[in-house]
Chains A and B, each alone.
Chain A
């Protein structure tokens, strides 16, 4: 390798420069103590970055961070004048991790943070599966679960409720266990931490007051108390927010005879169901008298997952933190060797399969590796690989070999 390595002290001295904006004063993310697999990976990553063009809006206003074998973010406060200087730097340094700020700054390289002059930040949702305590590998099923959660976030919340258009949404695979949904919406960029917390709370249904959903409305002759009767006023399906979601969910349940009967035995009668649906559409929930109706609906409300449930974690801190840096779309994730692949608007998210579509390296070329532990049978790159014993030398497709090396479960044999 002909890359110059710079001693850690010099490294710091260069990073401390207020604006690292060209490749001339580039720094190496490898150092003399980097282990052989890291240097080998770096060379592979360099080959990828020779032709790759990762993009992010307004690159000149973003803060970047590079990571190494030891640390995902080892150096931050980097900035680039234009996409070309970023690409040159990636080719030269080939960092194992590249992160980019959600925020826009006047002076992205300045520090401490207030000196950067924050201008705004995209809203980012980070959906991640819980890491498996036993296995470092990514399972297809886990990825499918997170993807369906990302689809729910977009189709049930971001588009209908928050009114974002498809063009304002950018989705990319995180490169590891989840997805990043980035919102480019000018009016929302100025929102601070407290406002972003409200958005997260909305999506997670925090602070929902079910008791505000219903009220008793008196109807009838106001002069004659005896002729008074009340109706249960509640949400209608065309309302926004959780009220509308709840009314629509109940109507859906009513349209299924088995579910309707669970609400009340009275709803075994199709005529009653029809009457109740007609009532709910107008906000009248007592078109059919259901004993203890509010309590009954409360139970359903608590059982129904109208909100993004905890099956997949939405990392609230990522959305709230207005100075967070996270994986640059279309860069390689050093923990998997896979791409933080952007999903183009032309491709449906439900058709995207990271273990096939987010590969940075070839499944045709091969690479010899020695395993450091038993590798379970798993799917990768549209193939199913058999279990591999520990300490075995084996020829594997390059992408899979890099994946195993990134997971620190194999070392390359060069």
Chain B
């Protein structure tokens, strides 16, 4: 059994659930307040404050607060909140992992094993003399890596069913595995939530993004299917990979949207941070990047239709010329028939 500190740092693992059950953790007022605060930090800051001490009382409280936060989230049934919290919890867990590197504890292996991911240290006799290299089965690698060119399997060392990853990549994979687990797992079932929980939800709702540009507010009829899909994902708080965000931002800049409008589109991202988003939009605008070609979009795994426009930026033109051709043909036919 993992120690209490480990359970408090990673309270979403099965061992922590067993602990909470055995310790008969209840939804007391204090736990609900702690759970609400945990959710507030996740939603408004995108991260949860790390535990400073290792006092067993505090560690146990931390597990209780996590349990209470899940109960509130279950009663809330808000998709955005669920996804945003999943991202925040996974980032927080990643920070604990990084902080544990200097310690003697084998956090990394323990957490991977709890998540049922087989990550093993690579043979020390790496010819490049690289340190901190791990092996991960390719199926787990594919399931838990972000769809990003830097994680593309073609560029990885794949040998005998295992992908060689650096410590940093392995941490990122665990972070993604945690996010996916929390995002896809069912929340505890509740009958009628208590008044305290209802009040907590009301207070937490104030931290949700105020205004989001719905796809209908953007003149989107000329947007290619890949771009519409990315917007749709953001609106549904589905995590969009870095390559997708970059392509979308470039496209929207070229489409003439303002920084504020583009920021609103991204506000649905589960790891949204206004300051970072605005900075990145401005940076992309300054760099004047071109919209990635359809081929590149396909490589990123975000091309979803065979619209044959070679570049999403050409879609509007291709669409119009197609309509123009069809309309001319219809006119010709009408004249012939007439």
Interface residues in chain A, defined as those with a beta carbon under 8 Å from any beta carbon in chain B:
160-164, 185, 187-188, 190-191, 194-195, 197-199, 201-202, 205-209, 212, 233, 236, 238-244, 281-283
Contact = CB atoms under 8 A, between A and B. Distances in A.
B185 to A, nearest CB: 16
Contact of A242 (B128, B149, B155, B299): B155
A241 B127 contact: no
Contact of A240 (B139, B152, B159): B159
Contact of A243 (B142, B157, B162): B157
A240 B160 contact: yes
Given A187-B139, A198-B301, A207-B152, A238 B127 contact: yes
A198 B142 CA distance: 8
A194 B158 CA distance: 18
Interface in B154-178: 154-164
A199 B158 CA distance: 11
A233 B129 CA distance: 12
A282 B158 CA distance: 19
Contact of B299 (A201, A241, A243): A201
A351 B143 CA distance: 37
B179 interface: no
Nearest to B118: A187
B91 interface: no
Contacts of B161: 161-164
Given A194-B301, A199-B142, 7 more contacts: A161-B159, A188-B139, A198-B153, A202-B153, A240-B156, A240-B157, A243-B157
A240 B138 CA distance: 12
28 contacts: A160-B160, A163-B138, A163-B159, A163-B161, A190-B139, A191-B139, A191-B142, A191-B143, A195-B139, A198-B152, A199-B153, A201-B299, A202-B154, A206-B154, A206-B298, A207-B154, A207-B155, A209-B149, A209-B155, A233-B128, A241-B154, A241-B155, A241-B156, A241-B157, A241-B158, A243-B157, A281-B127, A282-B127
Query: Dominant SS at the B interface?
Result: mixed
Contacts of B128: 233, 236, 283
A160 B159 contact: yes
A187 to B, nearest CB: 4
A157 to B, nearest CB: 9
A206 B299 CA distance: 7
B223 to A, nearest CB: 22
B158 to A, nearest CB: 5
Interface string B118-145: 0000000001100000000111101100
Contacts of A233: 128
B180 to A, nearest CB: 12
A205 B154 contact: yes
B295 to A, nearest CB: 9
A165 to B, nearest CB: 10
Interface of B: 127-128, 137-140, 142-143, 147, 149, 152-164, 298-299, 301
Nearest to A213: B155
B143 A190 contact: yes
A161 B155 contact: no
A187 B128 CA distance: 30
A281 B149 CA distance: 27
A185 B142 CA distance: 15
Nearest to A196: B142
Most buried by B among A187, A190, A244, A282: A187
Contacts of B153: 198-199, 201-202
A283 B298 CA distance: 32
Contacts of B162: 163, 240
Contact of B142 (A164, A195, A242): A195
Given A191-B143, A199-B142, A242 B154 contact: yes
Contacts of A242: 154-155
A320 to B, nearest CB: 10
A191 B140 CA distance: 9
Nearest to B127: A236
Contact of B147 (A194, A199, A202, A244): A194
A241 B159 contact: yes
B173 to A, nearest CB: 13
Given A236-B128, A241-B159, A208 B143 contact: no
Contacts of A241: 154-159
A243 B143 CA distance: 23
A284 to B, nearest CB: 10
A188 B160 CA distance: 14
Contacts of B127: 236, 238-239, 281-283
Given A191-B142, A209-B149, A283-B127, A197 B301 contact: yes
A239 B202 CA distance: 55
A1 B187 CA distance: 61
Contacts of A191: 139, 142-143
Contacts of A238: 127
Nearest to B143: A195
Contacts of A160: 159-160
Contacts of B139: 185, 187-188, 190-191, 195
